[in-house]
């Protein structure tokens, strides 16, 4: 698979990464054997960039990836710190807020290193901004971890352009991760331009709209009881019915390319810049293979413009997060 550069510090990864959250967290039932088979197939297809976080599980997703890696040195691992995680409860019940206290960062990184079974984390993100800790202090600790050899490259997630500039002044930031897809266009307001200016890579998560842009999304009531999409505004019945009309037009356009709508949606993201590396999730091999094929799907410029207009933010019904999640987004 074609490689792309994230930042100018030397981090080179496959043009498509693999978001691993859904293999262990947030979307209902998980199948470890299926996930490991999918990861093995991803490596065969040239995907060498995996995205995880301590909070996915919590902790179990990093342990899963360790089983898949088995000492492989050619796979780049991105993980994240930044949440306060309790021992009681399950899943999100264990998350009680953000925490980027310097001592906590160090504890989180040591835990990730142990669970992943690696000597150094390729890309370390602050998962969400902690308003109690200045970003300069956070990046200062992260930079110390680079100097100590425990981390190679630094990243941030869901921060504003102003915060990104302050962080990059302390230590070069190689990648910014934020939600970006046909139906989530917020980064186009400032972030993409800032990343270009500062030579920072951009890593879109949920580039398939949490599965909705695949054209195969089930009705909301068919989602597992513990699937967190049940609580998101865009997946409520009225909003879903409205947004499905846009996906139907995406599906129709995809037939002209002899492609699936998911492939067209990913190709659109890839076409937005060589500094962009989306990380679609896939727990099944068939979905992984479909996503990877998007890396070689060239879109006509006229169709890119058509999709830009079709999925203009004013045409989307429902927010991408509810108020609770938006509190954690630096806007």
Catalytic residues: 56
Q: Phi/psi class of residue 57: alpha, beta or left (left: φ > 0; alpha: ψ in -120 to 50)? A: left
- Tell me how far the alpha carbon of residue 28 is from its chain's centroid: 18
Tokens, residue 282: 């896939």
> Is residue 181 a contact partner of residue 206, using CB atoms and an 8 Å limit?
yes
CA–CA gap between residue 43 and residue 68 (Å, rounded): 10
Cα 114-151-86 angle, rounded to 5 deg: 45
C-alpha to C-alpha distances, 44 to 38, 50, 61, 121, 289, nearest whole angstrom: 10, 14, 21, 22, 10
Q: Give residue for tokens 């925490």.
A: 99
What does residue 314 show for φ and ψ, rounded to 5 degrees? -70, -15
Question: Cβ neighbours of residue 108 under 8 Å, at least 6 residues apart?
Answer: 54, 81, 82
CA–CA gap between residue 295 and residue 180 (Å, rounded): 17
Q: Return the H-helix or E-strand segment holding 48.
A: none
Question: Cβ neighbours of residue 189 under 8 Å, at least 6 residues apart?
Answer: none
> Is residue 55 a contact partner of residue 85, using CB atoms and an 8 Å limit?
yes
Cα 6-289-35 angle, rounded to 5 deg: 85
Helix axes 135-147, 161-170, angle to 10 degrees: 40
């Amino acid at each position: 698979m074609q490689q792309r550069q994230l930042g100018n510090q030397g981090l080179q990864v496959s043009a498509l990464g693999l978001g691993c959250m859904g293999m262990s967290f947030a979307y209902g039932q998980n199948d470890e054997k299926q996930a490991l088979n999918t990861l093995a197939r991803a490596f065969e297809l040239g995907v060498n960039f995996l995205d995880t976080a301590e909070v996915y599980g919590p902790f179990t997703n990093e342990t899963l990836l360790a089983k898949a890696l088995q000492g492989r040195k050619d796979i780049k691992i991105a993980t994240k710190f930044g949440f306060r995680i309790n021992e009681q409860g399950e899943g999100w019940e264990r998350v009680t807020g953000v925490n980027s206290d310097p001592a906590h960062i160090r504890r989180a990184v040591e835990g990730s290193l142990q669970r992943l079974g690696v000597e150094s984390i390729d890309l370390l993100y602050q998962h969400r901004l902690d308003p109690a800790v200045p970003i300069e202090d956070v990046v200062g600790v992260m930079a110390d971890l680079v100097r100590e050899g425990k981390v190679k490259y630094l990243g941030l997630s869901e921060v504003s352009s102003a915060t990104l500039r302050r962080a990059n002044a302390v230590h070069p930031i190689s990648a910014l991760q934020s939600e970006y897809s046909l139906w989530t266009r917020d980064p186009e307001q400032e972030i993409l331009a800032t990343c270009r200016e500062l030579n920072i890579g951009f890593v879109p998560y949920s580039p398939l709209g949490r599965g909705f842009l695949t054209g195969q999304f089930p009705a909301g009531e068919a989602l597992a009881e513990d699937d967190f999409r049940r609580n998101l505004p865009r997946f409520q019945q009225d909003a879903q019915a409205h947004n499905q009309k846009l996906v139907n037009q995406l599906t129709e356009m995809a037939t002209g390319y002899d492609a699936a709508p998911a492939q067209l949606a990913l190709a659109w993201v890839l076409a937005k810049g060589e500094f962009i590396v989306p990380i679609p999730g896939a727990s099944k091999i068939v979905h992984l293979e479909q996503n990877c094929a998007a890396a070689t799907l060239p879109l006509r410029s006229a169709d890119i413009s058509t999709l830009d207009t079709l999925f203009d933010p004013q045409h989307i019904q429902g927010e991408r997060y509810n108020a609770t999640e938006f509190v954690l987004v630096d806007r």
